[in-house]
Structure 1
Amino acid sequence: MFTAATPDTLADLRASLPDDSFRTDTAPYLTEPRGRWAGAGVVVAPRDTDQVARIVGYCNDRRIAVVPYGGGTGLVGGQLMNDGVAPLVLSLERMTAIRATYPSESVLVAEAGAILADVQRAAADMGRLFPLSLASEGSARIGGLLSTNAGGVNVLRYGNARAQCLGLEVVRPDGTIWHGLSRLRKDNTGYDLRDLMIGAEGTLGIITAAALRLVPQPAGVGAAMLAVPSPAAALDLLALAQDRLGDGISAFEIIHRQGLDFLTEVGPEFRAPFAETPDWMVLIDIGMPAGLDPDAALEAVFEAAAEAGLVTDGIIARSGADRDALWHIRESIPEANRRIGSISSHDISLPLSQVPDFIVEGGKRLARIGDFRINCFGHLGDGNLHYNVFPQQGRSRADHEDQRAAIKGCVHDLTDEMGGSVSAEHGIGRLKVDDLERYGDPAKLAMMRAIKTALDPNGIMNPGAVLRNLTND
C-alpha cells in the first residue's frame, strides 16, 4: 500500500528542505508530449545529491511513490503516474552542473539535470564530441537519457547512451548513495551495476550524475540525400557505404516521401531536396579524419551506388548550411507527425535483413484494418524504424480511436514474428508494459522482477513503469 504525497504526509520533508524546493505550478510536470495521459503528484526539485537522498529515504520510510522527472520528453509515459495514489515527482532540473572535465581522458562529469545540448557544448569546449544526438537535445536531460538508454541518429557509429557512460552516481531506493562515478575503461570487479541502472527508467534508483565518455571531433563532415528505389536498395546501399567508408558513417537514415508530404501539408517549412520527391530517400552523414575529403568520399559512394542501380538521384551537401538543411528535413518530421496526429506510433527495431520485408508486409496487414497513411522513417543503420500510422487527409486520429489497439497489435505482432523488438529506443515506460509481458521472454521477466524486488523491496521507485505494479496502490 502506498501513501499519497500530500502537504500533510510531506510536512516534515518540507521543513527540512529550502522553501523553493517545492514547485507550485505542477501542470508542466504532469503531462506527456503526446497529450494522451495526465498525472498527479507533488513536485520537488532538489539542488544536490544529498537532498535527493534525503527525499528518497523519507519516501521509502513512509511508502510514498517516487517518480523521477528529467526533461519530460519521454514518449512512453515513464515520467508520470496516470493512476493510483499521488506520488512525489522528483525533478532533476536544478542539478545541471558540469562537475568536472578531464581533457586528457576525454571524459566529463555531468549532473543528471544537465541538458544534452549543454553537455555537447561543454565537450566542444574541450575539443571533443559527445555523440549522443536526437531531436529533443535542447530539452532532454542526461539522467533521463541514461535511464531510457536513449538512441538517436548516431547509434550506428557511437552506440546508444549506454556506450557513452563510464560511471554513475545513483541514489538507491532506501536513500543511500552509490558513489560509482568511475572513469575507468576497464573494471571487472563484479556485477556491472552501471549497466543495470542504465535503461531501468528510474525503477531501481535515481541517477544523479554520470561520467561521460567523449570522442574526437571528426576533421571533416559531410552529408548527402540519396534517392533509392526501395528499402531493399537502401539496405544494399548501407552495405556498400560501409565497405567504402567503414566507421566513417555517423548516421544512415531512411525517409519515406510521406514524411515530406506531411512537412508540405503542415510544416515546419523546409527546402525540398528534389524537384520531384522520390518514394524513398536515404540521408547519410559522415565524419572523416584529417587528410580525407568527405565530399569526395560521398561522391565515390554515389557513383558506385548508381552503377549498381541502388540510387536514382542524389544531393551532396557542399556547405555547412546545405548539411543543416538536409538534417532539418529529418529532424522536422517528428514535429510534422505531431501536428498531423498519429493514430498509433511505433518505435521498433528489426534485424537489418528483415526491414524491407517488414515494410512491405506491414502495409499489407494494415490495409486489412482500414485506410491509413503510413510514415515510415528512422535509423536504418541500426534497424530502428519509427513506423507511425495516420488518418487520411480530412480525418483525425479521433475518428480511428476504436482501431488503435488493432493497429498497434498488428505492427507489434509482425515485429515479434520477424525477431524484432517493440521498443527500440524510447523504453517501456507505462505505455508498453502490456507489450513487454506479451512479447518478453518469461525467464527475462522473472529475472527483472527479482532484481526489482531485491533493490526496491517497498516498490516505491517509479511504480508501474517497465514492470506492472503489483501493490494495491
Structure 2
Amino acid sequence: MAPELVARFSALVSPRDVLEADAAAPLLVEPRGLYRGKAALVMTPRSTEEVSKIVALAAETGTTIIPQGGNTGLVGGQTPDLSGGAILLSTKRLDRIRDVDPAENLIVAEAGVTLQRVQEAASEAGRLFPLSLGSEGTCTIGGNIASNAGGTGVLAYGNTRDLVLGIEAVLPDGRIWSGLRRLRKDNTGYDLKHLFIGSEGTLGIVTAAVLKLFPAPREVATAFVGLPSVHAALKLFQLARERAGQSLTGCEVMPRIGLQFVLDHMADTRDPLGDQHPWYVLLELSSPLSVGLDTTLEGILEKAFEDEIVTDAAIAASGDQTAAFWRLRLGLSEAQGGAGGSIKHDVSIPLSRVADFIVEATAAVEKHLNGARVVAFGHLGDGNIHFNVTQPTGADKAEYLKGWEAMNVVVHDIVGAYGGSIAAEHGVGKLKRGLLAGVKSPVELDLFAQVKRALDPKGLFNPGVLFKETRS
C-alpha cells in the first residue's frame, strides 16, 4: 500500500487503533497455525462511524477488507492472505453493551463484546443468553453472527441465527444499515439480517446486534453417563427427550479416547466414573420453573439401566460438580493438541443416523491410515459431530497433516452418503471453499454468487472466503 494511502486510512482512527507489528502479529495467524497472512494495516476502530469511514475509503481506493472478531475461527475465514495489501479490520474495540432489557428479554451488544460478557450481563439481569462455546471467553458476538455459531445450546435454543432479532452493519460501500429492530414479528419484506448471519464477513461488517434472552434456569440437573456403544448414546438421547421434553437442554457425546486426552493434558480434571467405558454422554436438564428435574433425571437413568442402555452414571451434586463435568467436554478441543496433530471435520448428520455414521466413518478412517485415532464428539442432540482424527502415536505431525485433503475425502464421502453437511457450525472459510461445488447444486452456487455481486460488486470483502475467486 502506498504511504500516502496508509496515511489516509490511519487518519480515520486514533493512532492507538493502528496496531504496530508486535501487537498485530497475533491477529495474522489463525489459532491452529494453518493460515498465516500479512496486512498493510491492522486497524481496531471504536465506533460504527469509524468502521464506515474506513470501508468507504476502501471502496473508493479498491482496498481489500478482512473483518475479524476474536480470531477464534477454525476455517481460516478471519486471516488475510500473504499479498500484504489488505486491511485487517478487527472489531474487538467495538465492545460496548448498549442496553439490557429484561422486560423485553433482549440485549444490545456491539460486535466486539465477547460471548462470555454477554452471558454475564444477561445473568446479572436474571436472564440467560444460551449460546455457549468452548471459546466463549475470547470469541465475539460479531464473529458468532458471521459464522452462525452453534455450540452446546442448539438442542434447546437453536443456532446464533435463532437468537438474533436485529443487526447493525456496515455495507461494502461504507453505508450503515441500522437494523437494530427489537420486534419478534416483522413481515415487511426480506429479512435482511439473515444475509449477514453466516456470511463469514463476505457481505459487510456486523457492528452490533439485538440478541434474545431467556428466563434464567431455576433448576439444573446434570449427569455424566458411561455407555457401551455410540448406538446406546443415541438411545439415551431419545429416552431423555421423551421423558424430559423441552427441559432437555444438553446432550453431548464423547468417546473414551477423548476423555482420556482431557484427563492426560488438562489440569484439574478427574474421571467422574470408577471404571472406563467406551462412550460417555453429558446429559443436562434445566428449567426456569421448579419442576423436580432431579427426579426426572433419576427416572431417565433408572429406565436406561433397566433397558441396559447405560452401564454407569454420576449425577452432579453441586454447581461445582456440574462445572467439572462440563470442563471435561468443553476442554476436549484444546486437549487434542497435546496428543499431536488433528485433522478436524465439523459435520452434521440426520439425527437417527449419527451412530451409524460414526461407526462407518471410524472404520473407513482406520482402514485409510493404520493407527489413526478417531475422536468423534459433540452435540448429539442436534446431529453435529466433530469427527476429528488424531495422528498415530509417534507419527511426525507435519507429515501427518499433509494428508488432510485425502482424509477429508474419506470422511466427507460418507457424510454425503448419509445426507449430511460438511460444515455444521464452524463455517466454510478458506479451508472448505473448494468443497462447496461437490455439496451444493449449481443453482445454489449461482444464487450465492448473485448475492455476493449485489452487495460487494468489487469483491473487496474477505476475498477467497466461501468463493474460490478473490477479486472481480
TM-score for both structures, normalised by structure 1: 0.96
Contact preservation (8 Å) 2:364, 2:410: yes
Summarize deviations over 1:14-47 as a string: whole Å, max 9, x none. Answer: 2233222201121011001101110111101111
Contact preservation (8 Å) 1:390, 1:397: no
1:241 paired residue number: 240
1:179 paired residue number: 178
Structure 2 counterpart of 1:26, one-letter code: A
Contact preservation (8 Å) 1:147, 1:202: yes
The SS at the match of 2:365 is helix
2:31 paired residue number: 33
Against the structure 1 CA distance between its residues 354 and 52, is the aligned structure 2 distance closer, same or farther, given a 3 Å change threshold? Answer: same
Against the structure 1 CA distance between its residues 424 and 47, is the aligned structure 2 distance closer, same or farther, given a 3 Å change threshold? Answer: same
2:13 paired residue number: 17
1:319 paired residue number: 318
More divergent stretch after superposition (433-442 vs 146-155): 433-442
Contact preservation (8 Å) 2:226, 2:280: yes
Summarize deviations over 1:206-230 as a string: whole Å, max 9, x none. Answer: 0000001100011111110111221
2:278 paired residue number: 279
- Structure 2 CA distance, aligned partners of 1:311 and 1:102? 43
Quick check: 1:461 aligned with 2:461? yes
Structure 1 position 204, deviation (Å) = 0.4
- Structure 2 CA distance, aligned partners of 1:169 and 1:21? 21
Structure 1 position 80, deviation (Å) = 0.8
Quick check: 1:414 aligned with 2:414? yes
Between the two proteins, the alignment pairs up a number of residues equal to: 468
2:307 paired residue number: 308
Contact preservation (8 Å) 2:227, 2:310: yes
Structure 2 counterpart of 1:174, one-letter code: D
- Structure 2 CA distance, aligned partners of 1:20 and 1:430? 30
- Structure 2 CA distance, aligned partners of 1:29 and 1:167? 28
More divergent stretch after superposition (12-21 vs 47-56): 12-21
- Structure 2 CA distance, aligned partners of 1:237 and 1:295? 17
1:393 paired residue number: 393
Contact preservation (8 Å) 1:222, 1:285: yes
Map 1:64-463 → 2, pairs under 5 A: 64-371=63-370, 372-463=372-463
Q: CA RMSD in A?
A: 1.4
Structure 2 counterpart of 1:260, one-letter code: L
Against the structure 1 CA distance between its residues 264 and 102, is the aligned structure 2 distance closer, same or farther, given a 3 Å change threshold? Answer: closer
The SS at the match of 2:221 is strand
- Structure 2 CA distance, aligned partners of 1:210 and 1:6? 35
Structure 2 counterpart of 1:379, one-letter code: H
Structure 1 counterpart of 2:382, one-letter code: D
More divergent stretch after superposition (282-291 vs 41-50): 282-291
Contact preservation (8 Å) 2:263, 2:271: no
Contact preservation (8 Å) 1:343, 1:404: no
Percentage of matched positions with identical amino acids: 43
The SS at the match of 1:26 is helix
- Structure 1 CA distance, aligned partners of 2:222 and 2:3? 54
Summarize deviations over 1:250-284 as a string: whole Å, max 9, x none. Answer: 11001100112212333344111122220011101
The SS at the match of 1:368 is helix
- Structure 2 CA distance, aligned partners of 1:108 and 1:268? 35
Against the structure 1 CA distance between its residues 257 and 443, is the aligned structure 2 distance closer, same or farther, given a 3 Å change threshold? Answer: same
Contact preservation (8 Å) 1:170, 1:206: yes
Structure 1 counterpart of 2:108, one-letter code: V
Contact preservation (8 Å) 1:225, 1:281: yes
Against the structure 1 CA distance between its residues 309 and 468, is the aligned structure 2 distance closer, same or farther, given a 3 Å change threshold? Answer: same
TM-score for both structures, normalised by structure 2: 0.97
The SS at the match of 1:9 is helix
Against the structure 1 CA distance between its residues 116 and 6, is the aligned structure 2 distance closer, same or farther, given a 3 Å change threshold? Answer: farther
The SS at the match of 2:403 is helix
- Structure 1 CA distance, aligned partners of 2:289 and 2:189? 40
